[in-house]
């Protein structure tokens, strides 16, 4: 019997290797499939989606929030979006953009 509390996950080297392999596979899948998905979109759809994303990014810069606020609340994605949007630079956008009046020069 283990004395570990319910829900406890013991991070072993084997588990860390499994997690690493899983992330590597996810990144490889994203890099392979996403460019083709974007290219398959009609021009007007890409333009509309890009405008929507830019509005959400500016709102995020003006109002602040975490990376999760940006992708879950402002962009409306679920947890599955974390890895591809992180890989695309979303964390940089979230951390670097701050147009709030408190930071105005």
Q: What is the pLDDT confidence band of residue 104, given thresholds at 50, 70 and 90?
A: low
pTM across the whole model: 0.67
The per-residue pLDDT for range 21-71, each reduced to its tens digit, is 988 998 898 888 889 999 999 999 999 999 999 999 999 988 888 999 999
Contacts of 95 (CB under 8 A, 6+ apart): 67
pLDDT recorded at residue 47: 96
Q: Which residue has the tokens 């974007």?
A: 38
Give me the half-sphere count of Cα atoms (radius 13 Å) on the Cβ side of residue 9: 6
Q: Give the separation between CA 52 and CA 55, rounded to whole angstroms.
A: 5
């Amino acid at each position: 019997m283990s004395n570990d509390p319910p829900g406890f996950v013991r991070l072993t080297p084997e588990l860390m290797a499994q997690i690493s392999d899983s992330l590597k596979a996810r990144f490889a899948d994203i890099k392979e499939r996403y460019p083709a998905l974007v290219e398959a979109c009609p021009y007007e759809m890409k333009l509309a989606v890009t405008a929507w994303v830019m509005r959400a990014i500016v709102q995020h810069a003006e109002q602040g929030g975490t990376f999760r606020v940006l992708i879950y609340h402002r962009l409306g994605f679920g947890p599955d979006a974390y890895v591809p949007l992180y890989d695309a630079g979303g964390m940089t956008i979230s951390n670097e953009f701050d147009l709030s009046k408190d930071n105005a020069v």
